Structure 1
Amino acid sequence: MGERNEAARSARKLAMRRKAQKRHSHFYERCAHWSFGCHGEAEPIRWHRERWILAGTALLITAVSGFLIPAWASAMRPDSVSTAHAVLPLALPKAAPEVTQAATVEDWHIVQVQPGQTLSDLFQSQGLSLTDVQHVVDQSGDAKALHHISPGQEFDFLLDSDGSLKGIRFDKDESNRSTMRFDGDKATVTAEAREVERREHVAHGTIDSSLFAAGNKAGMSNQMVLKLAELFKYDIDFVQDLREGDSFTVIYDDVYRDGAYLHEGDIVAAEFVNDGDRYTAYRFKKDDGSYGWFSEDGRPIQKSFLRIPVDFTRISSQFSAARMHPVLGLMRAHKGVDYAAPTGTPIHAAGDGVVKFKGWMNGYGNFVIIQHNGSISTAYGHMSKFGPEKVGQRVSQGAVIGFVGMTGLATGPHLHYEFRVNDVQRDPQKVTLPKPEPLPAAQLAKFRAQVVQPQLARLKTLDTNIKLAKASGTKRNDD
């Protein structure tokens, strides 16, 4: 049975082969020699054209595959993404905590000097005694800075828990602070330098109503306007002499300490034109270290005599050879000038001199005479009270010698002021006052080279710019 089935399968295969050969007889005829079978004796292989074609095709496919497959693989490979590395804190064993002591903050009590206060008042306000005051003065090494205190100045006090003084700080001057610390009776004093700078400003004004109005319009404070008037008070009566159209140009500075505004400074250079007359003032540091203000020719702005020795509201009576006396009702000479001012207004010495007379004088009331030199003296009448000077004592220009009142023959509070030359009264408003001496030759040369020339150039430049600005403004208005 098995043999029969095997014979049947062999017969079917043979029939299928014959059928295929018959259907594809043309192929078998062409390619019969391609057979690699071992039918009979093997012949050497001969490379016919077809074999060369098959071999070349195979090589070409292999080469192309070797080039394209890696390129395709690279193109299909996804872009590499950098791996983010996270930094994780590691728990480390804790070190033993260090014992730190917080810095001690000292509790300084800052006290600002008020008008009228003394150093003793400041100490008493902190519960300290006069013994503490004396101890500080003795140990400071600079009693002058403590004796001459001014409103607005600051003193810092450091007190112990029992209220005793541990330390004090104060400004010796603008640029130096002194600190004193106490350990029992022992004092330690240290000095600290502070940075101070001056920043300059320029102002120009024209008088149309008053000096203060013009100054404020130019950006100046009232205090700086007063300093300007103080400079030129020897030459200009700012109550009687000002004219509309008068002008001024001022270069002044402000003081800054440690970068913060401290206070107003001084006038560096100034020019004032009054009724056509030009006056100038320049600040100059002299060889002795002190500052002064001088005109262009090197003469001190501070004249030998004040033109007016009191701040007044009006002139109530001029110098006259004959006037009706307001009390006596008689015609008589008035050998001085009366300046009306409120009772208690300070009266200043017109110049350096010696008190020759101080007391009651008929008609004049409380009366003072100051002898300035061999020929010139000044007299002051109707005082409400005297200053502290005594007869024979020397006084400086500007010293307060009394206060305005109406003692003697007077109808209201005023100062009766006389200027005498060889005991003969002269009109204080018209008398020619002697000029002060200029700077010594060496200082004068330095003053002209270092101060006058550069500051004068600045003032002239400012004047030119102001005139050009005015001319430009006038032209625009005309257009």
Structure 2
Amino acid sequence: MNRKRIISIAIVALILSAGIFNPGCRRGGNVQEEETAEVKDSVPAMGFWPDSLLCEVGRIRQGETFSGLMVRLGMSAADVYALVDSLDTAFDVRKLRADKDIAAYYSTDTLEGGEVKKELRYVEYRKDIASSIIFKTVAPLGFWEYEKPVSNERKFSHVVISSSLWNDMQKAGSDPRLIATLSDIYAWTVDFFGLQEGDEFKVMYQQKVCEGAVVSVDTVFYAEFRSEGKVIPAVRFEVPGCGKYWKPDGESMKGAFLKAPLQFSRISSGFSYHRKHPVTGKVKAHTAVDYAAPTGTPVMSIGDGTVISAGWSGAGGNMVKIRHNGGIYMTAYLHLSRFANGIKAGTRVSQGQVIGYVGATGVATGPHLDFRVWKNGTPVNPLKMDNVPDPPLPEAMMPQLDSVYRHYSAIMDSLTVTNQQVL
């Protein structure tokens, strides 16, 4: 075999092994699919490669519009208009919030003389720790949502009241946002404005974590409130149409009336028949509880009912009166800065519905809510009034509730380290 023939055979063999010429190894479509799959797998989580761009981080300014923000970052007014038009109703640019973090990503090019030219490519609007919206600022314009990986953690917290629930929750190493969930669960049984030194909360809950930071407190599985030797457990056991939290004996944690008409405040004056008025100086009955709170704090109806009146009441300022339980109970909310939309005589309201906002109208030394309750026409102390619970858990479900309660309480008894993670 001569040298030329040997070389030709070698070349053909090389071509066949590469699958270029072999009709039986046509892989054009498959190769394309494999390459596409590889490209898809290599697409970055954010939808672009941030490490290849110059990133500048800042914040949205007070009063800044979406258009103003984008122009400030480097878009032309025409491109901004086109981008807003492409968003349609998918993203409401009016919901852009001041002081939220933004990140602008630029491509760069060094010109003659060393000058660096920047072109805005993407803008990241950081809604929270885990969620962002990415705006593509060059053709083709567009946007998409970006979610960072979030993990769930079950935690245990033991808080003993020494100063305030907020401060003591932080000292215990727990996220204070847990307070909002606890106040919802115990809204009908615990007066969060009357917590005393030595009162305790033990809680088993779940929180979402992103990059080591708590995103939210999601679910309380089991809780115990202890005060003066009395223990009130709350067990999460969802029953469609009935409720989520129950006492171990099947009594609902939900009652006909909330313990308070607003959240996160303090009692500035209690129920009394002999109180010296802070403005007039006269000693007279104060058959109400005053809650000091910033102007604009939402005020809620403590129960389902019908608005009797909503208007000016002289010294009481703006006032809403509500009739409950067929007229057995009546509540009043005084010194409001304004009424909630739709609140007027005859309006039906539901428990927890916002009916107005804290103010200092009428005769008042500062912003607060004057809250009053009558039962059959007689004033009663809102902090001591009896509550009527919702219907109990159906008897057929009691064994399941008991099993859940025993499981959680056994875990709770075994945990003694504050904020220990539950495995």
Shared fold by TM > 0.5?
Answer: yes
Give the TM-score category using the shorter length. Answer: 0.5 to 0.7
Matched, 1:154 2:123: no
Name structure 1 gaps, 5 residues minimum: 1-91, 138-149, 175-193, 467-479
Give the structure-2-normalised TM-score.
0.64
Counterpart CA distance in 2 for 1:400 and 1:355 is 12
Q: CA deviation at 1:344?
A: 2.0
Q: CA deviation at 1:359?
A: 0.9
Counterpart CA distance in 2 for 1:316 and 1:222 is 23
Higher strand share: 2
The 5 Å alignment of 1:424-439 reads 424-439=378-393
Matched, 1:389 2:342: yes
Q: CA deviation at 1:265?
A: 2.6
Q: CA deviation at 1:382?
A: 0.4
The 5 Å alignment of 1:281-320 reads 281-287=234-240, 292-311=244-263, 313-320=265-272
Q: CA deviation at 1:132?
A: 4.2
Q: CA deviation at 1:268?
A: 0.8
Which structure has the greater CA radius of gyration?
1
User: What's the counterpart of residue 372 of structure 2?
Assistant: 418
Q: Give the 3 Å change call, closer, same or farther, for CA 121–372 of structure 1 in structure 2.
A: farther
Q: Give the 3 Å change call, closer, same or farther, for CA 217–262 of structure 1 in structure 2.
A: closer
Q: CA deviation at 1:365?
A: 0.6
Higher helix share: 1
Q: CA deviation at 1:407?
A: 0.7
| AA partner of residue 397 (structure 1) | Q
Q: Give the 3 Å change call, closer, same or farther, for CA 444–395 of structure 1 in structure 2.
A: farther
User: What's the counterpart of residue 224 of structure 1?
Assistant: 178
Q: Give the 3 Å change call, closer, same or farther, for CA 462–346 of structure 1 in structure 2.
A: same
Contact (CA 8 Å) 2:191, 2:383: kept in 1 or not?
no
User: What's the counterpart of residue 373 of structure 1?
Assistant: 325
User: What's the counterpart of residue 360 of structure 2?
Assistant: 406
User: What's the counterpart of residue 446 of structure 1?
Assistant: 400
The 5 Å alignment of 1:241-390 reads 241-244=195-198, 246-255=199-208, 263-287=216-240, 292-311=244-263, 313-374=265-326, 375-390=328-343
Counterpart CA distance in 2 for 1:426 and 1:332 is 16
Q: Give the share of equivalent positions with the same residue, in percent.
A: 32
Contact (CA 8 Å) 2:161, 2:195: kept in 1 or not?
no
Alpha-carbon RMSD: 4.4
User: What's the counterpart of residue 73 of structure 2?
Assistant: none
Instruction: Kindly indicate whether structure 1 or structure 2 has the higher relative contact order, using CA contacts under 8 Å at least 6 residues apart.
Output: 2
Q: CA deviation at 1:210?
A: 3.9
| AA partner of residue 219 (structure 1) | G
SS across alignment from 1:363: helix
Q: CA deviation at 1:293?
A: 1.8
Contact (CA 8 Å) 2:306, 2:348: kept in 1 or not?
yes
Contact (CA 8 Å) 1:337, 1:417: kept in 2 or not?
yes
User: What's the counterpart of residue 410 of structure 2?
Assistant: 457
| AA partner of residue 243 (structure 1) | E
Counterpart CA distance in 1 for 2:264 and 2:214 is 33
| AA partner of residue 280 (structure 1) | P
Q: Give the 3 Å change call, closer, same or farther, for CA 132–225 of structure 1 in structure 2.
A: closer
Give the structure-1-normalised TM-score.
0.58
| AA partner of residue 318 (structure 2) | N
Name structure 2 gaps, 5 residues minimum: 1-9, 21-27, 51-58, 71-78, 93-126, 419-423
Counterpart CA distance in 2 for 1:239 and 1:160 is 50
Counterpart CA distance in 2 for 1:210 and 1:379 is 28
Q: Out of 115, 124, 133, which is 2:88 matched to?
A: 133
Question: Residue deviations 1:253-309, cap 9 Å, x none?
Answer: 234699998643321111121122111111122235x96222222233233212221
SS across alignment from 1:293: strand
